[in-house]
Amino acid sequence: MERTFAILKPDAVERNLIGKILERVESNGFKIAAMKKALLTKPQAEGFYYVHKERPFFGSLTEFMCSGPVILLVLEKENAITAWRDLMGATNPEEADEGTIRKDFAVNIEKNSTHGSDSAENAAFEISYFFSELEIL
Ligand code: CMP
């Protein structure tokens, strides 16, 4: 069993898509091991996305991630990291495959509805950034 970290971003929460996206999570065999709603502060968002701090979209991305509540998730499944990225689809919804979450729900490359860890190392960092081990069941 592998763990990955996921976020339902402000654009998804604002459009009442939590239930529709979680339905896909569960029907695709993921176990929701931890979940909470949060309104991120700018420093929290900047720390979370620090790997992107030199990218031109960093300021806009971190502003967007604080613009409304998000859902933070720890998901468990065999090969969860790859499986969740496959289910989300490409970062840019215009390039996402049919039937993926981002193809169906994302607004654009920034407001792309969901986040997922891209490696085991980043999953460990991202999970521990928001959850203690005691909250993961
Ligand atoms: P996410 O998977 O959370 O990882 C970084 C985020 O930056 C990405 O989803 C998008 O929301 C955002 N972003 C905005 N512009 C770009 C871009 N040009 N390339 C990649 N990510 C971008």
Q: Tell me, what's the pLDDT at 83?
A: 99
With bands split at pLDDT 50, 70 and 90, how would you rate the model's confidence at 22? Answer: very high
Amino acid letter for position 22: L
% of residues, the chain, pLDDT over 90: 100
Of residues 65, 61, 64, 60, the one with CA closest to residue 40: 65
For the stretch 60-69, pLDDT in tens is 999 999 999 9
From the CB of residue 42, how many other CB atoms can be counted at a distance below 10 Å?
12
Q: What is the DSSP letter of 97?
A: P
User: Are the C-beta atoms of residues 18 and 71 closer than 8 Å to each other?
Assistant: yes
Q: Which atom of ligand 1 is nearest to the CA of 116?
A: 2
CA of residue 99 to ligand 1 center, whole Å: 20
CA of residue 111 to ligand 1 center, whole Å: 8
The answer, yes or no, to whether any atom of ligand 1 lies below 6 A from the CB of 90, is no
For the stretch 61-118, pLDDT in tens is 999 999 999 999 999 999 999 999 999 999 999 999 999 999 999 999 999 999 999 9
Residue whose CA is closest, atom 2 of ligand 1? Answer: 115
